[in-house]
């Protein structure tokens, strides 16, 4: 945790991909041999009510507890590799770059944020992403799901889930009870999104969220919503999820839509796992979407776009707004360097990007959920 932060809180989320061999995809984007876990937030939620999101939530002091060092390997960063220096002109996301020692935690942020995402996945979906204790998991492929016979009886596990929801420190006790540790090595650093100024939830809530990717061989044996923060769950391939969004069956926030478009580059779980593993130590930068209000919609500008401000207003204290009387179509015709999400309404999003992705990452497929076509020359 970082008690010095005043304008947002730190969080972690995981894009959980599970193998689904032999499945048939009705999406026109093509077949896909894996599914992602989506959780539908409660309609009473103060932030993105009823949205379908990836598992995750706020980091807690327990995620940074020094007690984890007694369970995890003693190697540097608990066996996680060292992230390479950023490329020229790039920067390491502050979420990861912050030295946590002066803040009272000997646990590196790279470890604690993974523990947070794993703990939240258990709280929200009942899924335990754990590995044998003492050393990093061996093997180069997707991680195995914890077999049902290695789990506690359903009633006892449900009681542990309730305890962890009430007190996050109980998650460490659960790991001790099972003789396992959070499988931090299965979570690959993927991206970092900061809630835009002006898009905060009730109470001005903004979040600096670490997004990880975790590939599992098969779907975990038990998935269940908590019926508190989470109203329902859905396993769906990235192309199918976009089709559900287009048909207004589900609602996705722009970051989730962007990441789904990026995952649509991969129809194979093994290819996705290899890509995420190979590039994970390249790190990532923090993205703050900056909203440009047009006459008939919004454009969320991302770093690298020709209209992205040189000095973004991260805190909102400058009270800077970007607006124009021009139509979205005119802005698109006038532009040439794009990294943006066009928002016509809640279910009409489109990603446009023609810049080189940094950190050896993959650009999203440019998927449009309405009939507009502003990118014929991209």
| Binding region for Mg(2+) | 120, 124
Would you list which residues are annotated within the binding site? 120, 124
From first CA to last CA, the distance across the chain in angstroms is: 42
pTM given for the model: 0.93
Within 20-153, strands assigned E span 34-41, 52-53, 56-58, 130-132
- pLDDT at position 378 is 45
> Using an 8 Å Cβ cutoff, are 20 and 77 in contact?
no
The reported pLDDT for the residue numbered 228 is: 82
Alpha helices in 91-211 (DSSP H): 94-97, 109-125, 154-166, 170-178
> Cα separations (Å) of 330 from 125, 290, 327, 361?
44, 19, 5, 30
Which residues sit opposite 43 in a β-bridge?
none
Query: Closest Cα to residue 240, out of 264, 206, 219?
Result: 264
Nearest-CA neighbor of 60 among 157, 165, 181?
165
Element (H, E) at 352: strand 348-353
Residue among 308, 115, 315, 129 at smallest CA distance from 208: 315
Specify the pLDDT at position 201. 54
Mean pLDDT by 10 residues, the chain (378 residues): 79 97 64 94 80 96 95 86 85 88 86 98 96 73 85 92 97 96 96 86 80 96 84 94 94 96 96 95 95 96 97 88 95 96 93 95 86 45
Tokens of 46: 């103060």
DSSP string of 239-302? HHHHHHHHTTSS---HHHHHHHHHHTT-S-HHHHHHHHHHHGGG---EE--EEEEETTEEEEE-
Residue 234 parent element (H or E) = strand 230-236
User: What 3-state class would DSSP assign to 330?
Assistant: helix
Name residue, tokens 């809530």. 205
- Residue extents of the structural domains in the chain: 9-282, 288-353
pLDDT of residue 148: 80
Q: What is the pLDDT of residue 170?
A: 98
Which fold would CATH assign to domain 9-282? Nucleoside Triphosphate Pyrophosphohydrolase (3.90.79)
What's the confidence (pLDDT) of residue 202? Answer: 54
- 316 by Cβ neighbours in 10 Å (0-12 / 13-18 / 19+) ranks as middle
């Amino acid at each position: 945790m970082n008690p010095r932060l005043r304008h947002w809180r730190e969080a972690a989320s995981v894009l959980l991909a599970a193998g689904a061999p032999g499945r048939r995809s009705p999406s026109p984007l093509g077949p896909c041999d894996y599914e992602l876990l989506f959780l539908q937030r409660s309609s009473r939620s103060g932030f993105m009510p009823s949205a379908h999101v990836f598992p995750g939530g706020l980091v807690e002091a327990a995620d940074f507890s020094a007690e984890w060092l007694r369970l995890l390997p003693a190697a540097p960063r608990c066996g996680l590799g060292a992230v390479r220096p950023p490329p020229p002109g790039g920067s390491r996301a502050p979420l990861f770059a912050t030295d946590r020692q002066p803040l009272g935690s000997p646990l590196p942020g790279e470890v604690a944020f993974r523990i947070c995402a794993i703990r939240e996945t258990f709280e929200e979906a009942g899924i335990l992403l754990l590995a044998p204790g003492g050393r990093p998991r061996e093997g180069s492929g997707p991680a195995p799901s914890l077999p049902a016979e290695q789990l506690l009886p359903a009633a006892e596990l449900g009681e542990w889930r309730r305890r962890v929801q009430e007190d996050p420190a109980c998650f460490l006790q659960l790991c001790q009870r099972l003789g396992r540790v959070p499988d931090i090595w299965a979570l690959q650093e993927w991206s970092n999104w900061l809630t835009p100024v002006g898009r905060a939830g009730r109470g001005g809530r903004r979040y600096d969220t670490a997004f990880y990717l975790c590939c599992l061989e098969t779907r975990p044996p038990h998935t269940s919503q908590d019926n508190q923060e989470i109203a329902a769950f859905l396993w769906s391939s990235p192309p199918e999820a976009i089709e559900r969004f287009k048909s207004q069956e589900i609602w996705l926030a722009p970051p989730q839509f962007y990441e789904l478009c990026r995952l649509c580059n991969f129809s194979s779980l093994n290819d996705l796992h290899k890509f995420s593993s190979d590039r994970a130590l390249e790190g990532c930068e923090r993205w703050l979407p900056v909203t440009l209000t047009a006459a008939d919609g919004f454009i969320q500008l991302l770093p690298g776009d020709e209209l992205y401000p040189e000095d973004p207003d991260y805190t909102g204290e400058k009270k800077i707004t970007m607006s124009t009387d021009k139509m979205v179509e005119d802005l698109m015709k006038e532009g040439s360097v794009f990294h943006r999400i066009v928002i016509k309404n809640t279910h009409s999003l489109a990603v446009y990007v023609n810049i080189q992705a940094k950190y050896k990452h993959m650009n999203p497929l440019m998927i449009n959920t309405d009939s507009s076509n502003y990118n014929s020359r991209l």
